[in-house]
Amino acid sequence: MDCVFCGIINGQIPSKTVYEDDLIKAFCDIEPQAPVHIVIVPKIHITSANEIGEKEAVYVAHIFSKAKEIAKSQGIDQSGYRIINNCGKDAGQTVSHLHFHLLGGKDLGAKLV
Ligand code: AMP
Ligand code: ZN
């Protein structure tokens, strides 16, 4: 399977890891869109939010349970951050491996689009 995030998870593609455990990995986005831009992924290949069932939801819950820790490690837990998931074409999903963007380090504004 040709998946860049699976490649990052198994170490074949280099990344700047900021957090990792048995279920998830978090690394710096290669094209940051904010001073802090982290990508958080489950360590199983889930194509998108459309594919989240009970088994996959365990990984999603774990990502959210660790997000504040990851934000704190980047110094943005108190200033604030945004967590974004893009699902499908209209949302601009470019990597077909479920992931959450954790963005912060500046005032991101109130508008979502
Ligand atoms: P999305 O548009 O929601 O699918 O987000 C995919 C994100 O993955 C984009 O922000 C890319 O910059 C990022 N990305 C793609 N390849 C890599 C990579 N090798 N290392 C880190 N981030 C990447
Ligand atoms: Zn994958």
Spans of all domains in the chain: 4-104
Ligand 1 pocket check for 70: Cβ under 6 Å: no
pLDDT along the chain (113 residues), means of 10: 95 98 98 98 98 98 98 98 98 98 98 96
3-state secondary structure of 6: helix
Ligand 1 pocket check for 13: Cβ under 6 Å: yes
Q: Which protein residue's CA is at the shortest distance from atom 13 of ligand 1? A: 29
Answer CATH for 4-104 from 3.30.428.10, 3.30.70.270, 3.20.20.70, 3.20.20.140? 3.30.428.10
Q: Are 11 and 19 in contact (CB under 8 A)?
A: no
Q: Which protein residue's CA is at the shortest distance from atom 12 of ligand 1? A: 31
Q: Give the pLDDT confidence score for residue 28 in this predicted structure.
A: 99
Is the pTM higher than 0.85? The answer reads yes
For residue 2, what is the DSSP state? -
Q: Give the pLDDT confidence score for residue 1 in this predicted structure.
A: 74
Ligand positioned closest to the Cα atom of 39: 1
Q: Give the pLDDT confidence score for residue 95 in this predicted structure.
A: 98
Ligand 1 pocket check for 4: Cβ under 6 Å: yes
